[in-house]
Structure 1
Amino acid sequence: MSPKHLIINCDDFGQSPPMNEAIQHLLEERKVSSATIMAPAPGFEEAAEWSRRRGQPNIGLHLTLTSEFNALRWQSMTGHPSLHDESGHMHKTVEAFERNADTDAVMKEILAQYEAVVRHGIPLTHADNHMGSLYGMAVGRSHIPQVLRQCAKWKLPFRLFRKVHPTDTLLSSIPGVERIVAKASSLAGVLGVAIPDYLLSHSFEVEEGETYERFKQTMITKMYNLPDGISETYIHPAVEDAGMRTLIPHWEKRVWEYRLMLDDDFAYAIKDAGVVLTNYDYIRKYGRASRVGSAFALARELLRK
C-alpha cells in the first residue's frame, strides 16, 4: 500500500482578525500544514507582519479575485474596473468575475498580489485560488493556463488535482469535471508545475441538520478513506467572534473547522488511519509529472471530441 499523504491548508489568512487569530494558533501548534494569505483583504497587513516576524515557513499565496460577503468587502490592488462591481469592490460571485474580468487585468492583479507578499519578506511555498474563481467552473471561462504559466515562472506549486476521488460529492457533481481536470493537470505537467493528486472538499456552509459532531465524523471518515498518493483539503478556521457571527453567513462552520483541528479525536484518526500530514515542500519534490508523458496526455485530451 502506498503512503497516504495529506495537506491541510488554511485558506483566507488575512481576511479578518478572528480568522488570523485561529490560523496563527493552528500554525503555531503545527495542527495544520500551511496557510494561504489574501493580499487584498482587510487583515492582510496583520497576517503578513506576523508571518514575517516569525519567519513562518509554510505560507502560500491565496489568489483573490472575488469579495463574497456583504459586510466584508475589499478592492483589487490594481484598480482595474473589470475586476470590480458597481460598488467598487471585487465581484461577489465567481460567475460575475468570469463574465466581466479582463484577462490582462487578472494577470496584473495576480502579479501585484504576489509582489505585495514578497515585499513583506514572506518566502512563498505555493499558490491557490480563493473561491475557485480562476478554474472556469461557472461559465467555462478559465484562467488556469495563464496562472500555471505564472506559477512556472515563480517556481511555485499550485492547488490543482489529477483525479477526482469518487467520495468527493462536491467535485464529482461538476459537469465534465474529469476532462477539465485531465487537461489542466496535463498542462501543469508540461509546464513543470507541481500539484497534488487529489483535492478533497466539503461544504462551506452549515448543511441542514448538521452539528459539530456530525461534521467531525464526516471528516474523520475521510481520513480512513483517504486515497493513496498526495491529497489536499482546505479549511477556513476562525475563533468565536460575536460581531463576525452576525455579519458573515455560516460563520459557525469556520468555528467548527478551528475546533476540529484541536480535537483529539481528529488527531487520533489521522494517526490511526496511517495518514502522513505533510506540506507543499513535499509537493515540490514529488508532485511533478513527466513533461513528455504530460504532453502526450494533453494532446490526447485536446483531440478528444
Structure 2
Amino acid sequence: MSPKHLIINCDDFGQSPPMNEAIMHLLEERKVSSATIMAPAPGFEEAADWCKRRGQTNIGLHLTLTSEFDAIRWRSLTGDPSLHDESGHMHKTVEEFELRADTRAVMKELVAQYEAAKRFRIPLSHADNHMGSLYGMATGRSHIPHVLKQCAKWKLPFRLFRKVHPTDPLLASIPGVERTVAKASALAGVLGVAIPDYLLSHPFHIVEGESYERFKQSMIAKMYDLPEGISETYIHPAVEDARMLEQVPHWEKRVWEFKLMLDDDFAYAIKDAGVILTNYDYIRVNGRASRVGSAFTLARELLRKSKIGV
C-alpha cells in the first residue's frame, strides 16, 4: 500500500487578530502543516511581521480577490475599480468577482499581493486562492491558466488537484468536474507547477444539527478514508471572540476547527490511520507530473472539447 500524505493548511492568515492568534498557536505547536496569508486583509501586517521574526518557512500566499463579511472588509492593493463593489471594497461573492473583474487587473493585483509578502521576507512555500474565486465555479469564467503561468514564474506550487475523491461533499457534486480537473492539472504539469493529488473539503458553515462532536467525528472519518497519494485539506481556525461570534456568520465553527487541531482524539486518528503529515516542501519535490505526459493529456482533452463542440 502506498503512503497517505496529508497537508493541513490554515487559510485566511491575516484576516483578523482572533484568527491570527489561533493560526500562530497551531504553527508554533506544529499541529498543522502550513498557513496561507492574505495580503489585503486588515491583520496582514501582524501576521507577516510574526512570520518574519520567526523565520517561518511554511507560509503560502492566499490569493485574495473577495471580501465576504460585513464586519471585516478590505480593498485591493492596486485599487482597480473592476475589483471593487459600490462600497469600495473587494466583491462579496465569487459570482460578482467573476462577472466584473478585469483579467489584467486581477493579475496585477496578484503580483502586488506576492510582492507585499516578499517585502516581509517571507519565503513563500506555495499559493492558493480565497473562496475559490479564480476557479470559475460560479459562472465558468476561470483565471486558472493565468494563475498557473504566474506560479510557474514564481516557482511556487499551487493548490489544485489531479483527482476528485468520490466522497468529497463539494467537489464531487460539481457537474463535469473530472474533465475540468484533467485539463487544469495537465496544464500545471506542462508548466512545471507542482500540485497535490487530492483536495478534500468540508462545509465552511455549520450544517443543520451539527455540533463540535459530530464535526470532529466527520473529520476523523476522513483520516481513515484518506486516498493514497498526497492530499490537502484546509481549515479556517480562530479563537473565541465575542464580537466575531456576533457579527461573522459561523464563527463558532472557526473555533471548532481550532479546537479540533488540539484534540488528542484527532491526533490519535492521524497516527492510527497511518497518515503522514507533510507540507508543500514535499509537494515541491513530489508533486510535479511529466511535462511530456501532461502535454499529451492536455492535447487530448482540448481535442475532445473541440469534437464535442462540432
Which interval holds the TM-score relative to the shorter structure? Answer: over 0.9
2:34 paired residue number: 34
1:115 paired residue number: 115
Q: Secondary structure of 1:169's match?
A: coil
Q: Give the whole-Å Cα distance in 1 for the aligned partners of 2:136 and 2:209.
A: 31
- 1:49 maps to 2:49: yes
2:124 paired residue number: 124
Q: Give the whole-Å Cα distance in 2 for the aligned partners of 1:177 and 1:251.
A: 30
- Structure 1 residue 134, shift from structure 2 partner: 0.1
1:219 paired residue number: 219
1:194 paired residue number: 194
1:139 paired residue number: 139
Q: Give the whole-Å Cα distance in 1 for the aligned partners of 2:98 and 2:126.
A: 23
2:13 paired residue number: 13
Give the counterpart letter for 2:34 in structure 1: S
Q: Give the whole-Å Cα distance in 1 for the aligned partners of 2:273 and 2:14.
A: 32
- Structure 1 residue 267, shift from structure 2 partner: 0.1
Deviations 1:162-215, CA, capped at 9 Å, x for gaps:
000001021111111111111000000000000000000000000000000000
Q: Give the whole-Å Cα distance in 2 for the aligned partners of 1:175 and 1:204.
A: 20
Identical positions, percent: 84
1:102 paired residue number: 102
TM-score by length of 1: 1.00
Q: Secondary structure of 2:21's match?
A: helix
- 1:273 maps to 2:273: yes
Q: Secondary structure of 1:87's match?
A: coil
Deviations 1:46-94, CA, capped at 9 Å, x for gaps:
0000000000110000000000001110000000000000000000000
Deviations 1:112-158, CA, capped at 9 Å, x for gaps:
00000000110000000000000001000000000000000000000
- 1:90 maps to 2:93: no
2:172 paired residue number: 172
Residues 53-92 of structure 1 mapped to structure 2, 5 A cutoff? 53-92=53-92
Q: Give the whole-Å Cα distance in 2 for the aligned partners of 1:226 and 1:71.
A: 36
Deviations 1:16-66, CA, capped at 9 Å, x for gaps:
000000000000000000000000000000000000000011000000000
Q: Secondary structure of 1:46's match?
A: helix
Q: Give the whole-Å Cα distance in 1 for the aligned partners of 2:176 and 2:18.
A: 37
Unaligned runs of 5+ in 2: none
- Structure 1 residue 159, shift from structure 2 partner: 0.1
Give the counterpart letter for 1:212 in structure 2: Y
1:204 paired residue number: 204
Q: Give the whole-Å Cα distance in 1 for the aligned partners of 2:81 and 2:167.
A: 40
- Structure 1 residue 303, shift from structure 2 partner: 1.0
TM-score by length of 2: 0.98
- 1:294 maps to 2:294: yes
Q: Secondary structure of 2:207's match?
A: coil
Give the counterpart letter for 1:83 in structure 2: L
Give the counterpart letter for 2:98 in structure 1: E
Deviations 1:90-112, CA, capped at 9 Å, x for gaps:
00000000000000000000000
1:240 paired residue number: 240
Q: Secondary structure of 2:170's match?
A: helix
Give the counterpart letter for 2:131 in structure 1: M
Q: Secondary structure of 1:98's match?
A: helix
Provide the aligned C-alpha RMSD in A: 0.4
Give the counterpart letter for 1:303 in structure 2: L
1:252 paired residue number: 252
